[in-house]
Amino acid sequence: MRSEKWARGFALGILIAGWVPAQVAAQARRSIAVSPDSAVSTIHVALDRARDGDTIRILPGRYQEPELRVTRRVTILGQGWPVLVGGDHQVLTVTADSVQIQGLEIRGVTASSTDDRAGIKVLDAKGCRIEGNHLFDTFFGIYLSRVSGCAVRGNLVQGKLASEVFSGNAIHSWSSNDLVIEGNVVRGHRDGIYFEFTTRAQVRGNTSTGNLRYGLHFMFSNDCTYERNTFVDNGSGVAVMYSKQVTMQGNRFADNRGGASYGLLLKEITDSRIERNIFERNSVALYGEGTNRVGIVGNQFLENGWAVEIMGDADRTTFQRNRFEGNSFDVSTNSVHASSQFVENYWDRYTGYDLDGDGYGDVPFAPVRLFAFMVQRNPPALILLRSFFVSVLDAAERVAPVLTPEAMQDRRPLMRWPSQ
Protein backbone atom coordinates (compact mmCIF):
# COMPACT_ATOMS: atom_id res chain seq x y z
CA MET A 1 0.00 0.00 0.00
CA ARG A 2 2.79 2.37 0.96
CA SER A 3 4.68 1.65 -2.26
CA GLU A 4 1.47 2.26 -4.24
CA LYS A 5 0.99 5.69 -2.62
CA TRP A 6 4.63 6.50 -3.21
CA ALA A 7 4.33 5.60 -6.91
CA ARG A 8 1.18 7.73 -7.32
CA GLY A 9 2.87 10.64 -5.56
CA PHE A 10 5.98 10.31 -7.66
CA ALA A 11 3.93 10.27 -10.88
CA LEU A 12 1.95 13.32 -9.74
CA GLY A 13 5.19 15.11 -8.95
CA ILE A 14 6.53 14.37 -12.40
CA LEU A 15 3.30 15.68 -13.97
CA ILE A 16 3.38 18.90 -11.94
CA ALA A 17 7.08 19.40 -12.60
CA GLY A 18 6.44 19.19 -16.34
CA TRP A 19 3.29 21.32 -16.25
CA VAL A 20 4.63 24.21 -14.19
CA PRO A 21 7.54 25.13 -16.54
CA ALA A 22 5.18 24.87 -19.52
CA GLN A 23 2.69 27.16 -17.78
CA VAL A 24 5.45 29.61 -16.87
CA ALA A 25 6.75 29.56 -20.46
CA ALA A 26 3.26 30.23 -21.82
CA GLN A 27 2.81 33.13 -19.42
CA ALA A 28 6.25 34.46 -20.39
CA ARG A 29 5.24 34.87 -24.04
CA ARG A 30 3.45 38.20 -24.12
CA SER A 31 1.90 40.47 -26.72
CA ILE A 32 2.83 44.14 -26.51
CA ALA A 33 0.70 46.58 -28.49
CA VAL A 34 2.20 49.83 -29.77
CA SER A 35 -0.06 52.71 -30.76
CA PRO A 36 0.48 56.49 -30.84
CA ASP A 37 -2.50 56.89 -28.47
CA SER A 38 -1.68 54.11 -26.00
CA ALA A 39 0.53 53.74 -22.91
CA VAL A 40 3.14 52.16 -25.17
CA SER A 41 3.34 54.87 -27.81
CA THR A 42 6.79 54.15 -29.24
CA ILE A 43 8.48 51.08 -30.63
CA HIS A 44 11.54 51.85 -28.50
CA VAL A 45 9.53 51.37 -25.31
CA ALA A 46 8.11 48.10 -26.60
CA LEU A 47 11.58 46.77 -27.46
CA ASP A 48 12.88 47.78 -24.03
CA ARG A 49 10.04 45.89 -22.33
CA ALA A 50 10.12 42.83 -24.58
CA ARG A 51 11.54 39.48 -23.55
CA ASP A 52 12.48 36.50 -25.70
CA GLY A 53 9.39 35.02 -27.33
CA ASP A 54 7.23 38.16 -27.11
CA THR A 55 5.20 39.59 -29.98
CA ILE A 56 5.24 43.35 -30.58
CA ARG A 57 2.11 44.42 -32.45
CA ILE A 58 2.50 47.81 -34.10
CA LEU A 59 -0.88 49.41 -34.81
CA PRO A 60 -1.54 51.92 -37.62
CA GLY A 61 0.29 55.22 -37.32
CA ARG A 62 3.48 57.02 -38.23
CA TYR A 63 6.53 56.24 -36.12
CA GLN A 64 9.64 58.37 -36.52
CA GLU A 65 12.16 57.29 -33.90
CA PRO A 66 15.92 56.87 -33.51
CA GLU A 67 17.46 53.63 -34.78
CA LEU A 68 15.53 50.63 -33.43
CA ARG A 69 17.78 47.85 -32.13
CA VAL A 70 16.26 44.40 -31.84
CA THR A 71 18.37 42.45 -29.35
CA ARG A 72 15.83 39.84 -28.23
CA ARG A 73 14.06 36.99 -30.02
CA VAL A 74 10.76 38.70 -30.78
CA THR A 75 8.12 38.86 -33.49
CA ILE A 76 7.41 42.36 -34.80
CA LEU A 77 4.03 42.38 -36.47
CA GLY A 78 2.58 45.38 -38.25
CA GLN A 79 -1.21 45.63 -38.32
CA GLY A 80 -2.82 47.98 -40.84
CA TRP A 81 0.54 48.96 -42.36
CA PRO A 82 2.14 51.19 -39.72
CA VAL A 83 4.76 53.52 -41.25
CA LEU A 84 8.29 53.54 -39.77
CA VAL A 85 10.31 56.54 -40.93
CA GLY A 86 14.11 56.68 -40.94
CA GLY A 87 16.38 59.63 -41.58
CA ASP A 88 20.16 59.85 -41.17
CA HIS A 89 20.13 56.33 -39.72
CA GLN A 90 18.71 52.94 -40.57
CA VAL A 91 15.34 51.98 -39.20
CA LEU A 92 15.72 48.46 -37.76
CA THR A 93 18.95 46.75 -36.72
CA VAL A 94 18.55 43.10 -35.73
CA THR A 95 21.25 41.27 -33.77
CA ALA A 96 19.15 38.54 -32.12
CA ASP A 97 18.41 35.06 -33.50
CA SER A 98 14.97 33.96 -34.76
CA VAL A 99 13.50 37.47 -35.10
CA GLN A 100 10.42 37.80 -37.31
CA ILE A 101 9.42 41.08 -38.99
CA GLN A 102 6.18 41.29 -40.91
CA GLY A 103 3.64 43.80 -42.20
CA LEU A 104 5.66 47.02 -41.85
CA GLU A 105 5.97 49.98 -44.19
CA ILE A 106 9.46 51.48 -43.89
CA ARG A 107 10.39 54.77 -45.53
CA GLY A 108 13.01 57.41 -45.96
CA VAL A 109 16.57 56.35 -45.09
CA THR A 110 19.01 59.04 -46.22
CA ALA A 111 21.75 57.88 -48.60
CA SER A 112 25.34 57.94 -47.39
CA SER A 113 28.70 57.49 -49.09
CA THR A 114 30.29 56.08 -45.91
CA ASP A 115 27.56 54.04 -44.19
CA ASP A 116 25.47 51.20 -45.66
CA ARG A 117 22.24 52.29 -44.00
CA ALA A 118 19.20 50.11 -44.60
CA GLY A 119 15.53 49.82 -43.87
CA ILE A 120 16.19 46.47 -42.16
CA LYS A 121 19.70 45.30 -41.34
CA VAL A 122 20.43 41.90 -39.77
CA LEU A 123 23.88 41.33 -38.27
CA ASP A 124 25.44 38.07 -37.00
CA ALA A 125 22.10 36.34 -36.47
CA LYS A 126 20.39 33.06 -37.31
CA GLY A 127 16.89 32.09 -38.35
CA CYS A 128 15.42 35.52 -39.12
CA ARG A 129 12.16 35.87 -41.06
CA ILE A 130 11.50 39.09 -42.99
CA GLU A 131 8.20 38.66 -44.75
CA GLY A 132 5.51 40.79 -46.35
CA ASN A 133 6.99 44.26 -45.75
CA HIS A 134 7.03 47.37 -47.95
CA LEU A 135 10.22 49.45 -48.11
CA PHE A 136 10.38 52.75 -49.98
CA ASP A 137 13.42 54.98 -50.53
CA THR A 138 15.56 53.30 -47.86
CA PHE A 139 19.02 53.51 -49.55
CA PHE A 140 19.70 49.79 -48.92
CA GLY A 141 16.50 47.84 -48.46
CA ILE A 142 17.10 44.55 -46.61
CA TYR A 143 20.73 44.02 -45.63
CA LEU A 144 22.02 40.67 -44.35
CA SER A 145 25.55 40.45 -42.95
CA ARG A 146 27.03 37.22 -41.58
CA VAL A 147 23.63 35.62 -41.12
CA SER A 148 22.54 32.00 -41.42
CA GLY A 149 19.25 30.27 -42.14
CA CYS A 150 17.24 33.44 -42.81
CA ALA A 151 14.25 33.85 -45.13
CA VAL A 152 13.27 37.03 -46.99
CA ARG A 153 9.84 36.51 -48.57
CA GLY A 154 7.12 38.54 -50.23
CA ASN A 155 8.59 42.01 -49.69
CA LEU A 156 8.28 45.05 -51.94
CA VAL A 157 11.50 47.09 -52.03
CA GLN A 158 11.28 50.29 -54.09
CA GLY A 159 14.12 52.78 -54.55
CA LYS A 160 14.02 56.25 -56.03
CA LEU A 161 16.45 55.81 -58.96
CA ALA A 162 19.23 58.11 -57.78
CA SER A 163 22.76 57.84 -59.16
CA GLU A 164 24.68 54.60 -58.59
CA VAL A 165 26.82 56.28 -55.90
CA PHE A 166 23.76 57.24 -53.86
CA SER A 167 21.75 54.08 -54.46
CA GLY A 168 22.09 50.94 -52.39
CA ASN A 169 20.93 47.42 -53.19
CA ALA A 170 17.38 46.27 -52.60
CA ILE A 171 18.33 42.89 -51.05
CA HIS A 172 21.98 42.66 -50.03
CA SER A 173 23.79 39.64 -48.58
CA TRP A 174 27.40 39.50 -47.43
CA SER A 175 29.20 36.49 -45.96
CA SER A 176 25.97 34.59 -45.24
CA ASN A 177 24.66 31.07 -45.83
CA ASP A 178 21.53 28.96 -46.19
CA LEU A 179 19.26 31.82 -47.23
CA VAL A 180 15.85 31.72 -48.90
CA ILE A 181 15.05 34.82 -50.98
CA GLU A 182 11.58 34.24 -52.39
CA GLY A 183 8.69 36.10 -53.99
CA ASN A 184 10.07 39.62 -53.57
CA VAL A 185 9.57 42.57 -55.94
CA VAL A 186 12.62 44.84 -56.11
CA ARG A 187 13.13 47.87 -58.32
CA GLY A 188 14.74 51.27 -58.55
CA HIS A 189 17.97 50.39 -56.70
CA ARG A 190 21.62 50.01 -57.75
CA ASP A 191 21.37 46.20 -57.79
CA GLY A 192 18.11 44.39 -57.21
CA ILE A 193 19.68 41.37 -55.45
CA TYR A 194 23.35 41.40 -54.48
CA PHE A 195 25.30 38.44 -53.04
CA GLU A 196 28.95 38.35 -52.03
CA PHE A 197 30.55 35.40 -50.23
CA THR A 198 27.12 33.83 -49.80
CA THR A 199 26.69 30.04 -49.97
CA ARG A 200 23.78 27.63 -50.31
CA ALA A 201 21.18 30.28 -51.10
CA GLN A 202 17.83 29.60 -52.77
CA VAL A 203 16.55 32.55 -54.83
CA ARG A 204 13.07 31.79 -56.16
CA GLY A 205 10.19 33.61 -57.80
CA ASN A 206 11.50 37.17 -57.43
CA THR A 207 10.91 40.06 -59.82
CA SER A 208 13.84 42.46 -60.24
CA THR A 209 13.22 45.28 -62.68
CA GLY A 210 14.27 48.83 -63.46
CA ASN A 211 17.46 48.78 -61.38
CA LEU A 212 20.33 51.08 -62.28
CA ARG A 213 23.00 48.41 -62.65
CA TYR A 214 22.14 44.71 -62.25
CA GLY A 215 18.89 42.95 -61.55
CA LEU A 216 21.01 40.26 -59.88
CA HIS A 217 24.71 40.55 -59.07
CA PHE A 218 26.66 37.94 -57.19
CA MET A 219 30.33 37.17 -56.68
CA PHE A 220 32.24 34.48 -54.80
CA SER A 221 28.94 32.77 -53.94
CA ASN A 222 28.93 28.99 -54.33
CA ASP A 223 26.26 26.28 -54.28
CA CYS A 224 23.41 28.70 -54.99
CA THR A 225 20.21 28.07 -56.95
CA TYR A 226 18.26 30.74 -58.84
CA GLU A 227 14.93 29.64 -60.29
CA ARG A 228 11.72 31.16 -61.69
CA ASN A 229 12.94 34.75 -61.29
CA THR A 230 12.21 37.63 -63.66
CA PHE A 231 14.96 40.12 -64.54
CA VAL A 232 13.59 42.82 -66.85
CA ASP A 233 14.79 46.24 -68.00
CA ASN A 234 17.83 46.53 -65.75
CA GLY A 235 20.75 48.78 -66.65
CA SER A 236 23.32 46.04 -67.21
CA GLY A 237 21.24 42.89 -66.81
CA VAL A 238 22.50 40.10 -64.53
CA ALA A 239 26.12 39.33 -63.56
CA VAL A 240 27.37 36.04 -62.11
CA MET A 241 31.07 36.09 -61.24
CA TYR A 242 33.79 34.01 -59.59
CA SER A 243 31.50 31.28 -58.32
CA LYS A 244 31.03 27.53 -58.66
CA GLN A 245 28.18 25.04 -58.55
CA VAL A 246 25.56 27.59 -59.55
CA THR A 247 22.19 26.50 -60.94
CA MET A 248 20.00 28.96 -62.84
CA GLN A 249 16.78 27.50 -64.22
CA GLY A 250 13.39 28.72 -65.33
CA ASN A 251 14.32 32.41 -65.17
CA ARG A 252 13.40 35.18 -67.60
CA PHE A 253 15.97 37.72 -68.77
CA ALA A 254 14.36 40.42 -70.91
CA ASP A 255 14.78 43.95 -72.27
CA ASN A 256 18.22 44.56 -70.80
CA ARG A 257 19.58 46.92 -73.43
CA GLY A 258 22.61 49.14 -73.87
CA GLY A 259 26.22 49.19 -74.99
CA ALA A 260 27.31 47.19 -71.91
CA SER A 261 24.06 45.34 -71.14
CA TYR A 262 23.61 41.59 -70.89
CA GLY A 263 20.72 39.33 -70.13
CA LEU A 264 23.23 37.18 -68.24
CA LEU A 265 26.97 37.73 -67.88
CA LEU A 266 29.05 34.74 -66.75
CA LYS A 267 32.64 35.34 -65.67
CA GLU A 268 34.89 32.68 -64.13
CA ILE A 269 32.01 30.29 -63.41
CA THR A 270 32.74 26.60 -62.80
CA ASP A 271 30.66 23.39 -62.61
CA SER A 272 27.33 25.10 -63.16
CA ARG A 273 24.03 24.64 -65.02
CA ILE A 274 22.01 27.21 -66.99
CA GLU A 275 18.75 25.46 -67.88
CA ARG A 276 15.30 26.25 -69.30
CA ASN A 277 15.64 30.02 -69.13
CA ILE A 278 14.14 32.54 -71.55
CA PHE A 279 16.32 35.32 -72.97
CA GLU A 280 14.42 37.86 -75.04
CA ARG A 281 15.12 41.30 -76.48
CA ASN A 282 18.48 41.80 -74.77
CA SER A 283 21.44 43.56 -76.38
CA VAL A 284 23.50 40.46 -75.55
CA ALA A 285 21.51 37.56 -74.13
CA LEU A 286 24.37 35.51 -72.67
CA TYR A 287 28.05 36.42 -72.38
CA GLY A 288 30.54 33.82 -71.15
CA GLU A 289 34.17 34.43 -70.21
CA GLY A 290 36.31 31.93 -68.35
CA THR A 291 33.44 29.48 -67.94
CA ASN A 292 34.55 25.96 -67.08
CA ARG A 293 32.38 22.84 -67.17
CA VAL A 294 29.14 24.74 -67.65
CA GLY A 295 26.07 23.14 -69.23
CA ILE A 296 23.69 25.52 -71.03
CA VAL A 297 20.66 23.37 -71.81
CA GLY A 298 17.08 23.89 -72.97
CA ASN A 299 17.12 27.69 -73.04
CA GLN A 300 15.31 29.96 -75.49
CA PHE A 301 17.15 32.87 -77.11
CA LEU A 302 14.53 35.05 -78.78
CA GLU A 303 14.87 38.38 -80.60
CA ASN A 304 18.12 39.43 -79.02
CA GLY A 305 20.90 41.46 -80.62
CA TRP A 306 23.58 38.86 -79.90
CA ALA A 307 22.16 35.63 -78.51
CA VAL A 308 25.52 34.28 -77.26
CA GLU A 309 28.96 35.81 -76.96
CA ILE A 310 31.30 33.06 -75.75
CA MET A 311 34.99 33.79 -75.38
CA GLY A 312 37.82 31.50 -76.44
CA ASP A 313 38.86 30.83 -72.82
CA ALA A 314 35.59 29.03 -72.09
CA ASP A 315 36.51 25.40 -71.40
CA ARG A 316 34.10 22.47 -71.64
CA THR A 317 31.10 24.75 -71.99
CA THR A 318 28.27 22.99 -73.83
CA PHE A 319 25.15 24.45 -75.46
CA GLN A 320 22.62 21.67 -75.96
CA ARG A 321 19.02 21.68 -77.23
CA ASN A 322 18.60 25.46 -77.02
CA ARG A 323 16.34 27.52 -79.25
CA PHE A 324 17.84 30.35 -81.32
CA GLU A 325 15.16 32.35 -83.08
CA GLY A 326 14.81 35.95 -84.25
CA ASN A 327 18.25 37.04 -83.09
CA SER A 328 20.33 39.47 -85.13
CA PHE A 329 23.39 37.32 -84.43
CA ASP A 330 23.26 33.87 -82.90
CA VAL A 331 26.84 33.31 -81.73
CA SER A 332 30.07 35.25 -81.67
CA THR A 333 33.51 34.49 -80.26
CA ASN A 334 36.91 36.13 -80.10
CA SER A 335 39.01 33.16 -81.21
CA VAL A 336 39.05 30.70 -84.08
CA HIS A 337 40.33 28.18 -81.53
CA ALA A 338 37.32 28.44 -79.20
CA SER A 339 36.28 25.02 -77.91
CA SER A 340 32.72 25.50 -76.67
CA GLN A 341 30.38 22.90 -78.13
CA PHE A 342 26.93 23.28 -79.70
CA VAL A 343 24.86 20.11 -79.82
CA GLU A 344 21.33 19.53 -81.13
CA ASN A 345 20.18 23.17 -80.97
CA TYR A 346 17.40 24.71 -83.03
CA TRP A 347 18.53 27.52 -85.35
CA ASP A 348 15.98 29.51 -87.34
CA ARG A 349 18.75 30.41 -89.84
CA TYR A 350 19.53 26.78 -90.61
CA THR A 351 18.75 26.01 -94.25
CA GLY A 352 19.87 22.39 -94.33
CA TYR A 353 17.81 19.26 -94.94
CA ASP A 354 16.79 16.06 -93.16
CA LEU A 355 16.72 13.23 -95.70
CA ASP A 356 16.46 10.39 -93.17
CA GLY A 357 13.62 12.08 -91.26
CA ASP A 358 15.16 11.73 -87.81
CA GLY A 359 14.47 15.37 -86.88
CA TYR A 360 18.10 16.46 -87.17
CA GLY A 361 19.80 18.26 -90.03
CA ASP A 362 22.09 16.15 -92.19
CA VAL A 363 24.70 18.90 -92.59
CA PRO A 364 26.34 20.91 -89.77
CA PHE A 365 25.37 24.47 -88.93
CA ALA A 366 28.04 27.16 -88.45
CA PRO A 367 26.49 29.73 -86.04
CA VAL A 368 29.19 32.44 -86.27
CA ARG A 369 28.39 34.94 -89.04
CA LEU A 370 31.09 36.78 -90.95
CA PHE A 371 29.03 39.96 -90.67
CA ALA A 372 28.94 39.61 -86.85
CA PHE A 373 32.75 39.61 -86.92
CA MET A 374 32.69 42.80 -88.99
CA VAL A 375 30.23 44.55 -86.66
CA GLN A 376 32.26 43.72 -83.59
CA ARG A 377 35.25 45.51 -85.11
CA ASN A 378 33.29 48.30 -86.76
CA PRO A 379 29.95 48.84 -84.95
CA PRO A 380 28.53 51.42 -87.45
CA ALA A 381 28.47 48.59 -90.02
CA LEU A 382 25.36 47.32 -88.22
CA ILE A 383 23.32 49.66 -90.42
CA LEU A 384 23.90 47.16 -93.26
CA LEU A 385 22.28 44.28 -91.36
CA ARG A 386 19.26 43.90 -93.70
CA SER A 387 21.13 44.72 -96.88
CA PHE A 388 21.68 42.54 -99.96
CA PHE A 389 25.42 42.71 -99.33
CA VAL A 390 25.02 40.93 -95.98
CA SER A 391 22.78 38.29 -97.59
CA VAL A 392 25.61 37.55 -100.01
CA LEU A 393 28.10 37.30 -97.13
CA ASP A 394 25.82 34.87 -95.30
CA ALA A 395 25.40 32.72 -98.40
CA ALA A 396 29.16 32.57 -98.88
CA GLU A 397 29.67 31.69 -95.21
CA ARG A 398 27.22 28.79 -95.46
CA VAL A 399 29.12 27.37 -98.42
CA ALA A 400 32.57 27.78 -96.90
CA PRO A 401 32.48 28.69 -93.21
CA VAL A 402 35.72 30.35 -92.19
CA LEU A 403 34.97 31.95 -88.81
CA THR A 404 33.16 29.24 -86.86
CA PRO A 405 35.73 27.15 -84.97
CA GLU A 406 35.50 23.46 -85.78
CA ALA A 407 34.39 22.58 -82.26
CA MET A 408 31.55 25.13 -82.34
CA GLN A 409 29.75 23.75 -85.37
CA ASP A 410 26.44 22.15 -84.49
CA ARG A 411 26.65 18.78 -86.26
CA ARG A 412 23.11 17.68 -85.32
CA PRO A 413 20.95 20.82 -85.52
CA LEU A 414 17.25 20.36 -84.72
CA MET A 415 14.97 20.85 -87.69
CA ARG A 416 12.27 22.34 -85.46
CA TRP A 417 11.86 23.33 -81.84
CA PRO A 418 9.93 20.60 -79.95
CA SER A 419 7.14 22.96 -78.90
CA GLN A 420 6.32 23.82 -82.51
Q: Could you give all domains of the chain from N- to C-terminal order, each with its CATH number?
A: 30-234 (2.160.20.10), 236-368+404-420 (no CATH)
Segment holding 119, helix H or strand E: strand 118-123
Residue 197, pLDDT above cutoff 90:
yes
The predicted structure's pLDDT at residue 14: 45
Instruction: Assess contact for 57 and 81: CB atoms under 8 A.
Output: no
- Please state, rounded to an integer, the average pLDDT across all residues of the chain: 88
The H or E element spanning position 64 is strand 62-64
Q: How far apart are CA 240 and CA 267, in angstroms?
A: 6
Number of Cβ within a 10 Å radius of residue 247: 15
CB atoms within 10 A of CB 37: 7
C-alpha to C-alpha distance for 51 and 73, rounded to whole angstroms? 7
Type of residue found at 51: R
pLDDT of 382 reads 55
Greater confidence, 74 or 29? 74
> Is a pLDDT exceeding 80 seen at residue 22?
no
The band of 405, judged by pLDDT with boundaries at 50, 70 and 90, is low
Calculate the CA 110 to chain-centre distance: 25
What contacts 366, CB < 8 A, 6 or more positions away?
Answer: 397, 398, 401, 403, 404, 408, 409
Note the pLDDT of residue 16: 47
pTM: 0.87
The reported pLDDT for the residue numbered 100 is: 98
- % of the chain exceeding 90 in pLDDT: 71
Of the candidates 138, 128, 40, 52, the one whose C-alpha atom is nearest the C-alpha of residue 87 is 138
Contacts of 73 (CB under 8 A, 6+ apart): 52, 53, 96, 97, 98, 99
Residues 271-285, mean pLDDT to the nearest whole number: 97
Compute the distance between CA of residue 171 and CA of residue 190 in angstroms, rounded to an integer: 10
Per-residue pLDDT of 363-374, as tens digits, reads 999 888 665 555
pLDDT of the residue at 265: 96
Q: Which of 120, 74, 79 is nearest to 99 (CA)?
A: 74
**Which of 93-102, 193-202, 271-280, 384-393 is least confident?**
384-393
Question: 371-402: buried (b, 16+ CB within 10 Å) or exposed (e) per residue?
Answer: bbbebbeeeeeeeeeeeeebeebeeebbeebe
Helix residue ranges, H only, 116-253: none
C-alpha to C-alpha distance for 55 and 59, rounded to whole angstroms: 13
C-alpha span between 374 and 384 (Å, rounded): 11
CA distance 204 to 225: 8
Q: How confident is the model at residue 392 (pLDDT cuts 50, 70, 90)?
A: low
Check: CB of residue 103 under 8 Å from CB of residue 133. yes
pLDDT exceeds cutoff 60 at 164 = yes
**Whether pLDDT at 386 is above 80:** no
Local confidence band at 394 (pLDDT 50, 70, 90 cut-offs): low
Per DSSP, the three-state class of 370 is: helix
Classified as helix, coil or strand, 155 is: coil
Average pLDDT for 300-328: 93
Instruction: Give the model's pLDDT for residue 369.
Output: 65
pLDDT > 70 fraction of the chain, expressed in percent and rounded: 83
Lowest-pLDDT choice from 19-23, 35-39, 76-80, 350-354: 19-23
Confidence class of residue 222 from pLDDT cuts 50, 70 and 90? Answer: very high
Burial class, 414, CB count within 10 angstroms (exposed 0-12 / middle 13-18 / buried 19+): buried
Query: Taking 70 as the threshold, does the pLDDT of residue 44 lie above it?
Result: yes
Tell me: the pLDDT tens digits for 60-82? Answer: 999 999 999 999 999 999 999 99
pLDDT band at 108 (very low <50, low <70, confident <90, very high): very high
Contact 59, 80 (CB under 8 A): yes
Among the listed residues 311, 403, 307, the one whose alpha carbon sits nearest the alpha carbon of residue 349:
307
pLDDT of 256 above 70: yes
What is the distance between the alpha carbons of residues 227 and 119, in angstroms, rounded to a whole number?
26
Confidence of residue 20 (pLDDT cuts 50, 70, 90): very low
Q: What is the structure's pLDDT at 380?
A: 56
Supply the pLDDT for residue 21.
Answer: 53
Q: How does residue 26 score in pLDDT terms, banded at 50, 70 and 90? A: very low
